[in-house]
């Protein structure tokens, strides 16, 4: 969504119940307050208008220095000022909306926003809050892990020498080490072994965060910047040296049997708990 400040303001006034004519006057008056000339916009107000209104002050003709200045803009009422206060702030640069934290009123004020779109967006945003998803794709119970994948479990504890002290799932999945593909229940997409058994190589280059990641599900390879860990292990130059592995393995305890948990590894590494998934692109 675009973020033209005037459109954003007009939208906010609309959400706050201001009629469109009054909103247009306020938007222009606020712009006139900030711009450095004395030429009023079509619906705006400059020095002469303030004088004609009998006010003791004139527009600043510069950026707002405090949000309280809004009270002085011609056409602003104390009631409206109070109502818009929670949704406005003074920016040193151009106004921006942070969709991750913006309240409903501001989201609705964004150009192109519709109630339906914002409702869907808020539902999606709520799902990204901590605790809004289960630990595992099938729920939260560690005792269910043994139905859906092969992790460090009671079988491993009783079979593998030195595993007695492992933190393991409180159930037996029947396999101490790797298991044949498809030994456990599939997920709702029909995919097997999405947690446990062997951790999966991914095509992504390792990044230390998700900012800038592709949103279409494609591998994050071009222009890979260094993650902190790549620097820590002495990587040099813009290469894709480390790649994430995900999903956990027969060797991992419940905390790490999740797709969201990733570790990095060098593609040259050969580790007994890391494998790869063969995929085929189907044409409809």
Residues within the interface to Ca ion (CB under 5 A): 150, 153, 156, 173, 175, 250
Instruction: Give the nearer residue to Ca ion in terms of CB position, either 150 or 199.
Output: 150
Q: Report, in Å, the least distance between residue 205 CB and Ca ion.
A: 30
Instruction: Give the nearer residue to Ca ion in terms of CB position, either 148 or 250.
Output: 250
Instruction: Give the nearer residue to Ca ion in terms of CB position, either 118 or 252.
Output: 252
- Which are the contacts of 53, defined by CB distance < 8 A and separation ≥ 6? 45, 74
Q: Report, in Å, the least distance between residue 260 CB and Ca ion.
A: 21
Instruction: Give the nearer residue to Ca ion in terms of CB position, either 81 or 253.
Output: 253
Q: Report, in Å, the least distance between residue 182 CB and Ca ion.
A: 15
Q: Report, in Å, the least distance between residue 146 CB and Ca ion.
A: 8
Q: Is the dihedral of CA 188, 192, 198, 199 positive or negative?
A: negative
Comparing CA positions, the residue from 102, 108, 75 lying closest to residue 88 is 102
Cα gap 13→109, rounded to integer Å: 8
- Which are the contacts of 209, defined by CB distance < 8 A and separation ≥ 6? 227
Are 278 and 202 within 8 A, CB to CB?
no
Instruction: Give the nearer residue to Ca ion in terms of CB position, either 75 or 254.
Output: 254
In the bound state, the residue with its beta carbon closest to Ca ion is: 153
Cα gap 244→203, rounded to integer Å: 8
């Amino acid at each position: 969504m675009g973020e033209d400040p005037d459109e954003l303001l007009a939208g906010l006034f609309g959400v706050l119940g201001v009629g469109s004519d009054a909103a247009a006057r306020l938007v222009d008056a606020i712009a006139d307050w900030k711009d450095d000339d004395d030429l009023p916009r079509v619906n705006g107000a400059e020095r002469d208008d303030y004088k004609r209104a009998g006010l003791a002050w004139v527009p600043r003709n510069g950026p707002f220095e405090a949000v309280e200045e809004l009270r002085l803009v011609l056409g602003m009422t104390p009631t409206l000022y109070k109502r818009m206060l929670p949704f406005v702030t003074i920016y040193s640069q151009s106004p921006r909306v942070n969709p991750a934290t913006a309240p409903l009123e501001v989201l609705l004020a964004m150009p192109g926003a519709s109630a339906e779109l914002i409702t869907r967006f808020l539902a999606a945003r709520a799902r990204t809050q901590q605790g809004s998803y289960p630990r595992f794709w099938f729920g939260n119970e560690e005792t269910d892990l043994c139905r859906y994948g092969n992790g460090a479990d009671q079988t491993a504890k009783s079979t593998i020498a030195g595993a007695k002290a492992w933190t393991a799932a409180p159930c037996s999945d029947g396999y101490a080490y790797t298991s044949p593909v498809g030994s456990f229940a599939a997920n709702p997409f029909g995919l097997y072994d999405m947690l446990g058994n062997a951790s999966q190589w991914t095509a992504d280059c390792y990044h230390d965060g998700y900012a800038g990641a592709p949103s279409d599900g494609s591998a994050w390879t071009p222009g890979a910047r260094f993650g902190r860990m790549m620097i820590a292990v002495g990587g040099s130059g813009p290469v894709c040296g480390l790649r994430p592995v995900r999903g956990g393995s027969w060797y991992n305890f419940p905390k790490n049997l999740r797709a969201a948990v990733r570790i990095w590894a060098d593609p040259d590494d050969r580790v007994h708990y890391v494998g790869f998934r063969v995929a085929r692109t189907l044409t409809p």
